[in-house]
Amino acid sequence: MVNTKVTLSGWQLDNPVIPASGTFNFGKEFAEFYDINILGTFSFKGTTKEPKFGNPTPRIAETPMGMINSVGLQNPGIHAVIEHELPELKKIFNKKVIANISGYSIEEYVYNCQLIDKEDQVGIIEVNVSCPNVHGGGMAFGTDPKNVYEVTKAVKAVTTKPVYIKLSPNVTDIVEIAKAAEAGGADGISMINTLLGMRIDLKTKKPIIANKMGGFSGPAIFPVALRMVYQVAHAVNIPVIGMGGVSSAEDVIEMMMAGATAVQVGAANLVNPYACKEIIEDLPRVMEKYGIKDLNDIIGIA
């Protein structure tokens, strides 16, 4: 018998597999395919203060071993999430969730986090300072250590729940950014968000995505994500949730060996709605194959 349970900031999860924000919406669509209560938890759709329609279409471009998206944080806004999405979610999901929060200013991050902190259904607040698809917010905060420190410090001053800062890989020194989040009081780090990429249509001679560039995700970015998780996990004293191209139980094990306590699955959900279910079901087999009795024994072992 193997132990798949892991603990994030005092919150015990049945397993480390977590669908990533933006790839699982608020759970309802996936609940039609399988019982989503088998998940460790999931990170719900990135939420801003006001409702957002998102970026103009086309928003998606395919690539070998991945995809580029420029959805632009389309969401119903923080008040609709609290008043409608969370009550609906409670009907199908009996665990706490990770609330992914975005903003265009420090004041907006504070406003959103202060509201969502009051919700019993939320176990962790994941502050997204790394979205490459929004102008004036998101990655604009996540590429500057001073901004990351200030956002983290401001959010921690108005919250009681654990705060995890979601980092952008589009930086020169990811460790410097992670340390700034830790110095600001972060309880953990989520990483990595998407890389910045683009595709050009050879027939029209124009970028495929209306926004020209977008977030590159999928199996192709896994080695980059793994390297960054390894670097950060060995440089900070707070937990890391690893993500970026994870699509198998083997990838989960590898991420944890690099230093992740839990692992988020993103683009794989968009290709196969059963991706997380299959990874969770396969995890005990892979653990036994490599002689792993308890996942906690392999965190950062590499």
How far is 126 from 220, CA to CA, in rounded Å? 24
Query: Which of 6, 82, 101, 131 is the catalytic position?
Result: 131
Residue 100 CB partners (closer than 8 Å, separation 6+): 21, 22, 43, 44, 45, 46, 47, 126, 128, 166
Residue 131 appears among annotated catalytic residues: yes
How far is 15 from 166, CA to CA, in rounded Å? 20
Q: What is the b/e burial string over 28-61, where b = at least 16 CB atoms within 10 angstroms of the residue's CB?
A: eebeeeeebeebbbbbbbbbbbeebeebeeebeb
Alpha carbon 285 to chain centroid distance?
Answer: 26
Residue 201 phi, psi dihedral angles, 5° rounding? -80, 115
How far is 171 from 122, CA to CA, in rounded Å? 30
What would the two tokens of residue 269 be? Answer: 């959900």
Is 132 within 8 Å of 196 (Cβ atoms)?
yes
User: How many degrees, rounded to 5, is the angle at CA 8 between CA 40 and CA 180?
Assistant: 130
The catalytic residue positions are: 131
